[in-house]
């Protein structure tokens, strides 16, 4: 069994409080590994190391090219260790092996993409306002400093890559706190970072609990920015704490994304796409297609086909390549999801699939909830408004495109949305009208590290990915350089200084 220490200042160390916990396999409850749990004191040491590393310029003073070579090497090492990382991701997070293979490949790809965006300090002349003989205006981007990155359990390695890649590309140093539920692959990544000889303190990785380790990081006066991915409730709390010293903040939070199927959609693709959008990773995705809105003229056919195909999805051991539906992350999550199913029942909505929790039989050692579908759901109900984060789909019907847009936007969230139609002009009009950070037309879940990703409304603040995502880790400075204008031409001085 593997044991993981905290990675602080280029060394693997024990927790100062000596707290060690087991991380469990969501499939059968077996112990996957032991890990040191970060205490507030450990976070403090990690922040000091990151601060020293940042202030010394050991990372931020390197050229973009040299930084890029480190990021590329990290990506290459992930690929070299892919088989091992895939297995560990399945064991620790309950990810199916098919998903985990993609996640590991995409984590490597993320480091590669961000290596191309490595910018560190860079500047350009603003030729649109510079005026020779009067002034030159320079726009300069500088790394924001020490970043505290906090990530959830649903994509443990990928989330770590999505935080470290842009932060490092911007020239920042980082303290990364993985979820206490899935520390394994983030700690394996710490091993990789150690192997590529990144200067000590540039990256520190410490799994720990939100309320002590996480909050200490958010409160820490030496942290310049918090990059958070997780629930909207915790995001709000973090924003309140960060307000104390106006810390820079990006929040990637929850969602309740609407998936609109128009009457002219390709039924075959739209049904499979809707199942993929909803049940990928058993619904534990922030941008899952959790609210399905179907045009009334195809509603009955669509729902019937959807349910028929959903019945063929096989729940089981996530290590088996034939498994479609894996376990949820924890018992607590099972109970939470079961509570929402109960709420849908009590509200009188018709359940056409699932509803059960594996409490006996082969899957009962794991955290299994059956893929569940409620139909004719009122969009104002609890199961249509709240993020369930499990395999529960709510379906409603609409009669006009305007109504579809209005139902889709009737939510506090705005992470993603989708439209299925053969008429791309019509679908594009709907996409323009949806209040969501990502809209797919005839697709779902396809994100690209070069395209901005993030939420409208309570789904978050800021964007990840691409040049925009790197700039979220930078401060912008305008430098005005006088070009030798003589005193007599500086009339504006006369507003204060007597001639």
Active site residues: 252, 286
Quickly tell me which residue has 């560990």 as its tokens. Answer: 88
* Residue 376 falls in which region: left (phi positive, over 0), alpha (psi -120 to 50) or beta: left
The CA distance from 358 to 360, in Å, is: 6
Strand spans (E) along 302-375: 350-353, 372-375
In the complex, what is the shortest distance from the CB of residue 453 to ligand NAD, in angstroms, rounded to a whole number?
7
The CA distance from 226 to 175, in Å, is: 10
The CA distance from 293 to 457, in Å, is: 20
* Of 141, 3, 122, residue with least CA distance to 62: 122
Residue 260 or 415: the one with the smaller Cβ distance to ligand NAD is 415
In the complex, what is the shortest distance from the CB of residue 492 to ligand NAD, in angstroms, rounded to a whole number?
46
Whole-angstrom CA distances from 96 to 19, 63, 281, 315, 323 are 30, 39, 7, 10, 7
Residue 151 or 260: the one with the smaller Cβ distance to ligand NAD is 151
Whole-angstrom CA distances from 126 to 154, 441, 447 are 42, 37, 32
Task: Tell me the sheet residues that pair with 392.
Answer: 372
Burial readout 93-108 (b: 16 or more C-beta within 10 A, e: otherwise): bbbbbbbbbebbbbbb
In the complex, what is the shortest distance from the CB of residue 457 to ligand NAD, in angstroms, rounded to a whole number?
12
Residue 26 or 316: the one with the smaller Cβ distance to ligand NAD is 26
Task: Point out the residue whose Cβ comes nearest to ligand NAD.
Answer: 210
Residues making contact with ligand NAD (CB under 6 A)? 150-154, 177, 179-180, 209-211, 214-215, 218, 229-231, 234, 237-238, 252-255, 286, 387, 389, 415, 455, 460
* Of 371, 308, 378, residue with least CA distance to 341: 371
In the complex, what is the shortest distance from the CB of residue 15 to ligand NAD, in angstroms, rounded to a whole number?
15
In the complex, what is the shortest distance from the CB of residue 87 to ligand NAD, in angstroms, rounded to a whole number?
22
Coil vs helix vs strand at 146: strand
Residue 202 or 388: the one with the smaller Cβ distance to ligand NAD is 388
Residue 73 or 219: the one with the smaller Cβ distance to ligand NAD is 219
Residue 47 or 427: the one with the smaller Cβ distance to ligand NAD is 47
The CA distance from 71 to 94, in Å, is: 28
Residue 59 or 389: the one with the smaller Cβ distance to ligand NAD is 389
In the complex, what is the shortest distance from the CB of residue 252 to ligand NAD, in angstroms, rounded to a whole number?
3
Report the Cα 402 to chain-centroid distance in Å.
30
The CA distance from 156 to 148, in Å, is: 16
In the complex, what is the shortest distance from the CB of residue 156 to ligand NAD, in angstroms, rounded to a whole number?
10
Residue 160 or 271: the one with the smaller Cβ distance to ligand NAD is 160
260's CB contacts (< 8 A; 6+ apart) are 293, 398, 404, 408, 417, 418, 419, 420, 430
Contact 258, 430 (CB under 8 A): no
Determine whether 245 is exposed, middle or buried from the number of CB atoms within 10 Å of its CB (0-12, 13-18, 19+).
exposed
Residue 227 or 315: the one with the smaller Cβ distance to ligand NAD is 227
Beta strands 350-353; 248-252: pairing state:
unpaired
In the complex, what is the shortest distance from the CB of residue 455 to ligand NAD, in angstroms, rounded to a whole number?
6
Burial readout 300-327 (b: 16 or more C-beta within 10 A, e: otherwise): eebbebbbeebeebebbbbbeeebbbbb
The CA distance from 194 to 7, in Å, is: 9
In the complex, what is the shortest distance from the CB of residue 429 to ligand NAD, in angstroms, rounded to a whole number?
26
Whole-angstrom CA distances from 380 to 187, 389, 455 are 42, 18, 21
């Amino acid at each position: 069994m593997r044991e993981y220490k905290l990675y602080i200042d280029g060394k693997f160390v024990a927790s100062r409080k000596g707290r060690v916990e087991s991380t469990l396999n969501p499939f059968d409850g077996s112990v996957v590994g032991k890990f040191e749990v970060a205490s507030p004191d450990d976070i403090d040491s990690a922040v000091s190391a990151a601060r020293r590393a940042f202030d010394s310029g050991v990372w931020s003073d390197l050229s973009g090219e040299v930084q890029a070579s480190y990021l590329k090497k990290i990506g290459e090492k992930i690929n070299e260790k892919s088989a091992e990382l895939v297995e560990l991701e399945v064991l620790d997070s309950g990810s199916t092996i098919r998903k985990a293979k993609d996640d590991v490949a995409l984590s490597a790809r993320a480091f590669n993409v961000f290596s191309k965006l490595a910018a560190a300090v860079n500047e350009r002349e603003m030729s649109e306002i510079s005026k020779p003989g009067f002034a030159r205006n320079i726009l300069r981007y500088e790394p924001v400093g020490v970043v505290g990155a906090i990530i959830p359990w649903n994509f443990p390695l990928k989330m770590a890559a999505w935080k470290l890649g842009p932060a490092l590309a911007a020239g920042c140093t980082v303290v990364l706190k993985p979820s206490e539920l899935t520390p394994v692959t983030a700690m394996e990544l710490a091993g990789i970072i150690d192997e590529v000889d990144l200067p000590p303190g540039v990256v520190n990785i410490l799994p720990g609990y939100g309320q002590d380790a996480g909050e200490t990081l958010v409160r820490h006066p030496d942290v310049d920015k918090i990059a958070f991915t997780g629930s909207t409730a915790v995001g709000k709390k973090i924003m309140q704490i960060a307000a104390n010293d106006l810390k820079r903040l990006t929040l990637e939070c929850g969602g309740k994304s609407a998936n609109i199927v128009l009457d002219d959609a390709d039924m075959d693709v739209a049904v499979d796409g809707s199942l993929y959008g909803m049940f990928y990773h058993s619904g534990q995705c922030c941008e899952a297609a959790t609210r399905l809105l179907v045009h009334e003229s195809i509603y009955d056919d669509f729902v019937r086909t959807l349910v028929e195909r959903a019945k063929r999805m096989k729940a089981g051991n996530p290590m088996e390549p034939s498994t479609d539906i894996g376990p949820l992350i924890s018992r607590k999550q099972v109970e939470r999801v079961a509570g929402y199913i109960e709420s849908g029942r009590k509200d009188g909505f018709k359940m056409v699939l699932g509803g059960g929790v594996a409490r006996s039989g082969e899957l009962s050692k794991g955290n299994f909830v059956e893929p569940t579908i409620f139909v004719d759901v009122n969009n104002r109900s609890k199961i249509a408004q709240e993020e369930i984060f499990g395999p529960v789909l709510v379906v409603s019907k609409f009669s006009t495109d305007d109504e579809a847009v209005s139902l889709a936007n009737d939510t506090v969230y705005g992470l993603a949305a989708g439209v299925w139609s053969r008429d791309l002009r019509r679908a594009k009009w709907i996409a323009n009208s949806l209040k969501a950070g990502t809209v797919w037309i005839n697709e779902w879940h396809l994100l690209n590290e070069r395209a901005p990703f993030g939420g409208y409304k309570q789904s978050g603040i800021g964007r990840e990915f691409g040049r925009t995502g790197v700039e979220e880790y930078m401060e912008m400075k305008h430098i005005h350089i006088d070009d030798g204008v003589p005193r007599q031409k500086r009339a504006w001085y006369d507003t204060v200084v007597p001639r």
